[in-house]
Amino acid sequence: MSLASDFVQGFQLENAPIRGRLVRLGPVLDEILTRHAYPLPVAQLLAETVALTAALAAALKYEGVFTLQTRGDGPVRMMVADVSSDGKIRATAQFDAALVEQIAGAGWTGVALLGKGHLAFTVDQGGDTERYQGLVELRGKNLSECVQYYFQQSEQLPTALMVGAEQQDGHWRAGALMVQKMPTAQKGIPANDDDADGWDHARAVTATCSLAELLGGDVTAPGLIYRLFHEFGVRVFDPTAFAFQCRCSRERVETVLKSMSWDDVQHMKIDGVVTATCDFCSTSYRFDDADLSLIVSDT
Ligand SMILES: [Zn+2]
């Protein structure tokens, strides 16, 4: 893991009930995006989705996998990014290449590529634990507005968010800054008085963060947090790193094949073998008749 490049840095404002986190991603995005031939506008959108996923996951206490997914009727039918509680991150997108080209050629990019649809947040802690899922309509001029709309609708947790991604010299970089008002009211401050607890000001400051600042440029993460929020007093926590890692395996594919009938599996054969390719990392798993006879029951 490269802490210098792919990480989230959490922080807390000292004089306001506000916490935040700054995500910066680099090499992990190259790993994710170069495994597919994504058109530029799709890669851009997916890079932003990965940065948002990293920022949202860092706000949760969970052991397992956090997933952010979009589904829509636009040229980018689906995007999914997930991150495990130990910082392993992956993502993929399904899209119609011809439609993307057509719509992007007409100047429509960003969330316009998603069309009408929804954004889903899932926390899966495995075992018998209940899966948490939040769902909201895709609404906003960009992905961060869509996520803010979710918080407005479902969590009533005031959230300010900036996200951006860019390809520079053949390498992707993305950043996300997320600031949230903590739910507890402080002594003597009415819970809903935004001005009194500095929320309006913190939100306005967040909105001034430029793309260059988000991505890194000439300022370190703690340096940027201090630059933006110094008047509140800032406490910065230790950063945590992200790395690309897929969770697919030959065993998982075998489990799926095991649940199928011999006939169904035979129909999946191309040139005598069944090939399953992972949507996330593009690894192909091949099964010939000898493999299949050990896995699939022929009765
Ligand atoms: Zn995989």
- Give me ligand 1 centre to Cα 246, in Å: 5
48: enclosing H helix or E strand? helix 40-58
State in Å: Cα 249 to ligand 1 middle. 7
Confidence (pLDDT) at 197 = 77
Q: Contact 239/9 with Cβ under 8 angstroms?
A: yes
Q: What average pLDDT score do residues 95-109 get?
A: 91
Q: What is the pLDDT of residue 184?
A: 64
- pLDDT, one tens digit per residue, over 59-89 is 888 889 999 999 999 999 999 999 999 999 9
In this structure, what is the dihedral angle of CA atoms 55, 57, 58, 60, given to the nearest 10 degrees? 130
Q: Give dist(CA 156, CA 59) in Å, integer.
A: 15
Spacing, Cα 282 to ligand 1 middle (Å): 6
Angle between helices 221-229 and 199-207 (to 10 degrees): 130
* Site of tokens 């040229």: 75
Distance 283 CA to ligand 1 centre (A): 6
Output the DSSP codes for 93-126: EEE-HHHHHHHHHTT--GGGGT-SEEEEEEEE--
Q: List, for residues 263-294, the tens digit of each pLDDT value.
A: 999 999 999 999 999 999 999 999 999 999 99
- Whole-number mean pLDDT of the chain? 91
The confidence band for 217, taking pLDDT boundaries of 50, 70 and 90, is confident
- Residue in this structure with the two tokens 């948002």, named with its chain if needed: 52
Q: What is the pLDDT of residues 121-136, one digit of tens each?
A: 999 888 777 788 889 9
- How far, in Å, is the centroid of ligand 1 from the Cα of 90? 9
Alpha-carbon Rg for the chain, nearest whole angstrom, is 21
Residues 176, 163 contacting (CB under 8 angstroms):
yes
